[in-house]
Amino acid sequence: MNDAKGGLVVFTANSHPPSRELGKRIAERLGVEIGKVQVDQEANRETRVQIQESVRGKDVFVIQTMSKDVNTTIMEMLITVYACKTSCAKSITGVLPYFPYSKQCKMRKRGSIVSKLIACMMCKAGLTHLITMDLHQKEIQGFFNIPVDNLRASPFLLQYIQEEIPDYRNAVIVAKSPASAKRAQSFAERLRLGIAVIHGEAQDAESDQVDGRHSPPTVKTTGAIHPSMEIPLLIPKEKPPITVVGDVGGRIAIIVDDIIDDVDSFVAAAETLKERGAYKIFVMATHGILSCEAPRFIEESAIDEVVVTNTIPHEIQKLQCPKIKTVDISMILSEAIRRIHNGESMSYLFRNIGVDD
């Protein structure tokens, strides 16, 4: 496949060399060369993009993986998409394996739904289609007024479990919080394994206590509400002591989640599982952000192995911590690009995927 045969152009819109590695893998699988585009940072930190080949009437796919400087990465993506739009591209598909600001997809007190803002900016820049993977919340798809294909990394992680964990039949799939229980259940049912849920850990940033429902002041104001119409206050939540629902004694514990960034909760979960008798602990996640001191904390923890995909480059973190392993997902992204370009159905890539997966 090449642009002479089908009008396909693949760009990587990132000035950070390690972030271009996934784009090269995808292009290699498609049998095309990376399109010629120059992405630079000016001395005043402005982003400059120059498309160096014709894209008129072609299907353009812009691959963008997130670097540590996420805001610069977003601007590189937006400017590249807009440059393709003004250069008369037929269609512009964004390939963002990890969607930035996806954790900020709910209203929190007097904050904002930032992922909605990012979606609007991308559509306004000229995006006509989006390919992403394991959105933090599936409802984010509704923020776009263009088609969104939310691919899944679970088949690759399940394959890793079956091929790289010799005694996986003696494993139990663990959700480190009740919020992760559906994902853990999906893994457990496909591997025919048991499930365990850790309950009672400290509140995280996505708890109900920090959403917009708690933003009105609780102090009574004279004359504000008629005495006969007083609104009852909701009793605040109080987490119980940490408990593990399910048997992990003498078993391999496999913690599954979509994102691993701040590893404190994973390290605490691993310690709890060790105390309950688990003899080996794995962590499986789609997006390995692994910020700050995460590699060191993992290396010093009870976790035996952390398995993530290459949706986000993390080669430096792997050098700092040998426990971090990578699963390549370029195959499914390249197949999605091929099908969209050829006008083929995408349903093949969503086989056996349910609403809760």
Phi-psi region of 49 (alpha: psi -120 to 50; beta: other; left: phi over 0): beta
User: Cα–Cα distances in Å, from 251 out to 10, 171, 177?
Assistant: 45, 5, 19
Position 226 scores a pLDDT of 63
Calculate mean pLDDT across residues 88-104.
95
Mean pLDDT for all residues in the chain: 89
In CATH terms, the fold of domain 154-201+241-327 is Rossmann fold (3.40.50)
**What proportion of the chain, given as a percentage, has pLDDT over 70?**
89
pLDDT at 112: 92
The pLDDT score that the predictor gives to residue 203 is 46
Rounded CA gap, 99 and 132, in Å? 7
pLDDT of residue 91: 97
Tens of pLDDT along 1-53? Answer: 444 445 999 999 887 787 789 999 999 999 999 999 999 989 998 999 999 99
- State the pLDDT at residue 239: 77
At residue 292, the pLDDT reads: 87
Output the pLDDT for position 200: 81
Q: Is pTM, for the whole model, over 0.85?
A: yes
Per residue in 168-223, pLDDT tens? 999 999 999 998 999 999 999 999 999 999 988 544 445 444 555 555 555 555 55
pLDDT at 351: 87
Q: Which CATH architecture has domain 8-151?
A: 3-Layer(aba) Sandwich (3.40)
SS3 127: coil
Higher per-residue confidence, 260 vs 108: 260
- The domain spans of the chain are 8-151, 154-201+241-327
Burial label for 357, CB within 10 Å (0-12, 13-18, 19+), is middle
* Tens-digit pLDDT profile for residues 255-289: 999 999 989 999 999 999 999 999 999 999 999 99
For residue 56, pLDDT beyond 80: yes
Count other C-beta atoms under 10 Å from residue 175's C-beta. Answer: 25
- The single-letter code of the amino acid at 149 is D
Judge contact between 84 and 60, C-beta under 8 A.
yes
Kindly tell me if the per-residue pLDDT of 331 is higher than 90.
yes
Q: What is the pLDDT of residue 228?
A: 62
Class of residue 196 by CB neighbours under 10 A (exposed 0-12, middle 13-18, buried 19+): buried
Q: Compute the distance between CA of residue 239 and CA of residue 203 in angstroms, rounded to an integer.
A: 8
Do the two domains 8-151 and 154-201+241-327 of this chain adopt the same fold?
A: yes
